[in-house]
Amino acid sequence: MTNETEFINALKDPRQKDKAFKLLLDKYQQRLYWHIRKLVLTHEDADDVLQNTFLKIYKNLHNFKQNSSLLTWMYRIAYNESMNLLSKNGKILFSNNEEESKKAIDKLESDVYFEGTEIQLKLQKAILKLPEKQRQVFQMKYFDELKFNEISEITGISESTLKSSYYTAVKHIEEFVMSFQTF
């Protein structure tokens, strides 16, 4: 497929849908997994949400209006599925709740799938100490390299609010990481 419009047409064509969807999985599965994983934190939850995300994508391709890019649309579905899981499990508790932050950090440190260095662990700890919305915005901008307008489409939050949240998060992360520096 040479461009996104042709690819989307193939995804919507009943004769080509399965083959095109396999290409979609191959191209975006890992990227969406890591987006989801940063939101729900555990590998098991991320796998469940990823599966639900791709089921929703497959079932709703005919509804995709192309008002945004295909990737932004898929991120929005992944984001919403992640928020649904967190809400259902009562895990949206990060707005500066120190106990919940500690639990998340402990879980990260014991996660057999985390293969980061010491500085990466410090960065993750700093991110986990952020309020929920700042954490999400920071991760989408910094790790997923999304533009503010794309994050706005995904989350439904205005770009100016996102920018403020992002730069506040950066400041808090810098302060946290610098507090560990020894000279």
pLDDT tens for residues 92-119? 544 445 555 565 666 655 565 555 566 6
We report the CATH number of the domain holding residue 140 as 1.10.10.10
CA distances from 24 to 29, 65, 86 (A): 8, 17, 26
Place of tokens 């791709």: 54
We report the CATH number of the domain holding residue 76 as 1.10.1740.10
Indicate the pTM of the whole model. 0.78
Whether 30 shows a pLDDT value over 90: the answer reads yes
Asked if 17 and 61 count as a contact pair (C-beta separation under 8 A), the reply is yes
Please compute the mean of the pLDDT values over residues 139-144 and round it to a whole number. Answer: 91
The pLDDT assigned to 26 comes to 96
The pLDDT assigned to 112 comes to 55
Domain boundary among 45, 65, 92: 92
Q: DSSP characters for 73-102? A: HHHHHHHHHHHHHHHHTT----SS-HHHHH
Q: Domain containing 180: what range? A: 96-183
Whether 183 shows a pLDDT value over 90: the answer reads no
Residues 114 and 80 in one domain: no
Residues 35 and 79 in one domain: yes
- Residue 2 pLDDT level (bands cut at 50, 70, 90): low
The pLDDT assigned to 74 comes to 96
